[in-house]
Chains A and B, each alone.
Chain A
Amino acid sequence: MTRPFLVRLHRAGPWFCSTAILLFVALSPVIFVTASGDEWLWRWLLAGVPVVALTLWLTAMAYDRTPAEASARSAEKSGTPAEASATSADLASTDASNDASDVSAVVGDGSADASDASADVPDGSADVRDSSADVADASAGVDGRRGEAGMRVAVLSLSRKVQASAHRIQEESTRMVAKFPAEPDVLEAGMRVDHAAAQQARLAQSIATLCGEQPGQHWRDPLAIADVVRGAAGRITAYRRVRVEGDPPVAVQGAHVEPLIHLVAELLANATQSSPPATEVLVTIRSVRRGAALEIDDAGVGMDETNLAWMREIASGTRQVRLQDLGEIPQTGLAVVGTYVRRHGFRVDLTESVHGGLRVAVLVPEAMTTPLTPAVPAPVGPRTPPSIPVPPSTPVPASLLAQAPKAPPASTTPAWPVHNAAKAPDPIPGRNEPSLFTSDGLPQRRSKRGQRFATGHQQAVSQPIPARPEPTAEQAGAWMSSFLSTPATPATGTTIPPVNDRQNDRQNDRTTAETDAAPENHWRNHDR
């Protein structure tokens, strides 16, 4: 309400001031000299000084209050759209997760979202310009910080949007590839799209990180450190040049997987960019006493002492580089690395390598690692995987049909095709091999799924069963003849066990597939 008056006062201040002084100078001799004789000087001074002081004070007040209010207004202005865009980003991400089931909806959503984001951009930048002009006007520290915070929030939410859309592109390309399992061309195109989107997502995540936020991606489960490096390699342009050596049985805990992937990706990007294109970037992974150590060596020309010291300060987190410090040619890589180092407690150091390039050493502290349980249990004793007689059953109906009539009716072979049977006198070669027969004497499908996820059940079934002789040729012949003579729906009795076996097998398949459903959601923890 008072604002128009103050603005008017602000504008009229100088005029008012000078007019008042001129009037006083012009009129005072007329009033005072003609009115009284000798004491005019004192009266002139007594009346004039307060008038001039009052005028100056009013003018000064007008100058003081108007810019302060203007900057406050600008802070309000910049704050509101930032909040609004943050909310819309939230909405967009919820939308994305809700609509993930519908491809076309997602695509439409994505483009709508993208246009939304681009529509936001001019708004945001105009606002930023406005507020920065006001801030310069005001030259008040507190207001500057408020404007900075608003800008940071806006940039953060925009980067989140870009990252979400990049991940959606990756998702769509993966779906496309999965839809055409026999088309290498589709796979190639999908890979290119995926690769480009991965780099876009990395850049967006770098911006978010420099705004002081956590990465947009999260992985729940631990990931082997060698896989962390491979995941990181996938986010840089020249991923083919990255060579990984060493694979210690160490995994990184889920909460630290994404920060480490991003950190390593930035280091790999630096290494590949600063070395000749024909050279490899070597990543050596070792398990050390204090955790896991990565060393990234490039074959570049390195850098001079001053630069190296500067870069080392940034990468080790000693010198903080914020978004506004990046400058006209922004170099986000080491700044992101330093941010993660400060926030998560990784240790990073840059040294000059003996052969000229740079060597970056990364230590992942032990508290962030977890020992890696081998995915494959090491068999006790000599392992003879090919010796397992394989029942002719697969979940693929086509191959089932194709193989069924071809079960060997020969005299010396077992009832079903045996791979390398000569080496396998004992069908149960080791403790880790599950029993091949159930307690009912039915052949049991040897499935990795069963081993991995239902070991308890399998052991319970297999324990009381000692080694069983292989079926003889006569049994094989009986099986063949029964198979060929049995109508399409065999009796459920036990007179024709092999046919029953097959049913049992398929049932097994189904049940294992069902029990598998949960563990196969291994990576369904991707939170966007």
Chain B
Amino acid sequence: MPGAREDDYVDHPIRSYVRTGGRARPTHRLTPATLLIGHTDPASTSVGRQEREVLSQCLGVISMAEIAVHLGQPVSVLAVIASDMIDAGLIGVRPDSDTATGPSRETLQKVLHALNHL
């Protein structure tokens, strides 16, 4: 967890490599700020316990960082799990959540220019 204090280590009987099946590389680029939306009912019996845990957090739009804190897992572990779920169509990434689609460079430069002349 980014910004985690040193004393908030919480142990869990299920280790992270079991959760991800030993994989460390997510298939999607998910940052802590990425917003996820659930596409599936968390009560659905067709998904596993781990997926249900994530889905139960995705009732609305929620950021990766928040889910990670709720589930007590590092963001990088969650990224692997969430990537699989995105591939399976269980959840989706909110399209406009990526900062890459923010204001254009010209706009930002104009703002900066205006700020400098305040």
Contacts and interface: CB of A to CB of B under 8 A. Distances in A.
Interface of A: 100-103, 167, 170-171, 174-175, 177-188, 190-192, 194-195, 198, 219, 223-224, 226-228, 230-231, 233-234, 239-240, 247, 257-258, 261, 374-379, 383, 385-386, 388, 390, 394-396, 398-399, 402-403, 405-406, 417, 419, 446-449, 451, 516, 520-524, 526
Contacts of A516: 70
B22 A390 contact: no
A25 B49 CA distance: 95
B65 A230 contact: no
Contacts of A188: 24-25
A485 to B, nearest CB: 16
B43 interface: yes
A351 B61 CA distance: 50
A233 B72 CA distance: 20
A405 B103 contact: yes
Contact of A396 (B6, B13, B63, B102): B63
Which 4 interchain pairs have the tightest Cβ spacing?
A181-B75, A188-B24, A231-B13, A526-B11
Given A257-B13, A375-B52, A448-B56, A402 B70 contact: no
Contact of A177 (B18, B63, B74, B94): B74
B103 to A, nearest CB: 7
Nearest to B30: A182
A443 to B, nearest CB: 12
B98 to A, nearest CB: 8
A258 B11 CA distance: 13
Nearest to B101: A402
B10 A239 contact: no
B43 A231 contact: no
Interface string B74-109: 111101100000000000001011010011000000
Contacts of B66: 394-395
A195 B15 contact: yes
Contacts of B43: 374, 376-379, 383
B76 A396 contact: no
Given A177-B16, A388-B60, A399-B35, A375 B74 contact: no
Interface of B: 1-2, 4, 6-7, 9-18, 20-22, 24-26, 31-33, 35, 37-39, 41-43, 48-49, 52-53, 55-63, 65-66, 68-70, 72, 74-77, 79-80, 94, 96-97, 99, 102-103
Contact of A227 (B13, B24, B38): B13
B59 A388 contact: yes
B13 A228 contact: yes
B48 to A, nearest CB: 7
Contacts of B60: 385, 388, 390, 446-448
Given A187-B77, A448-B59, A524 B25 contact: no
Given A181-B74, A224-B49, A385 B9 contact: no
Contact of A247 (B35, B48, B74): B48
Contacts of A447: 60
Contact of B7 (A100, A185, A388): A100
B16 A521 contact: no
B77 A177 contact: yes
A346 B12 CA distance: 23
A523 B10 contact: yes
Contacts of A175: 4, 6, 9
A524 B10 contact: yes
30 contacts: A100-B9, A101-B6, A101-B7, A170-B15, A171-B9, A174-B9, A174-B11, A182-B31, A184-B24, A187-B77, A191-B17, A227-B13, A227-B14, A230-B14, A231-B18, A258-B13, A375-B53, A376-B42, A376-B56, A394-B35, A398-B99, A399-B35, A402-B102, A403-B97, A446-B60, A448-B59, A520-B10, A523-B10, A523-B13, A523-B72
Given A448-B70, A523-B10, A419 B65 contact: no
B11 A181 contact: no
Contact of B13 (A191, A261, A386, A395): A261
Nearest to A228: B13
B77 A234 contact: no
A376 B43 CA distance: 6
A171 B11 contact: yes
A448 B76 contact: no
B46 to A, nearest CB: 11
A228 B94 CA distance: 34
A258 B24 CA distance: 27
Nearest to A524: B10
Contacts of A451: 59
Given A177-B74, A181-B74, A399-B33, A230 B18 contact: yes
Given A178-B75, A179-B4, A234-B17, 17 more contacts: A175-B9, A179-B2, A181-B2, A184-B76, A185-B24, A187-B80, A191-B16, A226-B49, A233-B18, A375-B56, A376-B56, A378-B43, A394-B63, A396-B63, A417-B96, A449-B70, A523-B72
B41 A383 contact: yes
Contacts of B33: 394, 396, 398-399
A230 B50 CA distance: 11
Contacts of B77: 177, 187
Contact of A399 (B1, B7, B99): B99
Contacts of B39: 386
A353 to B, nearest CB: 25
Nearest to A375: B56
B38 A385 contact: yes
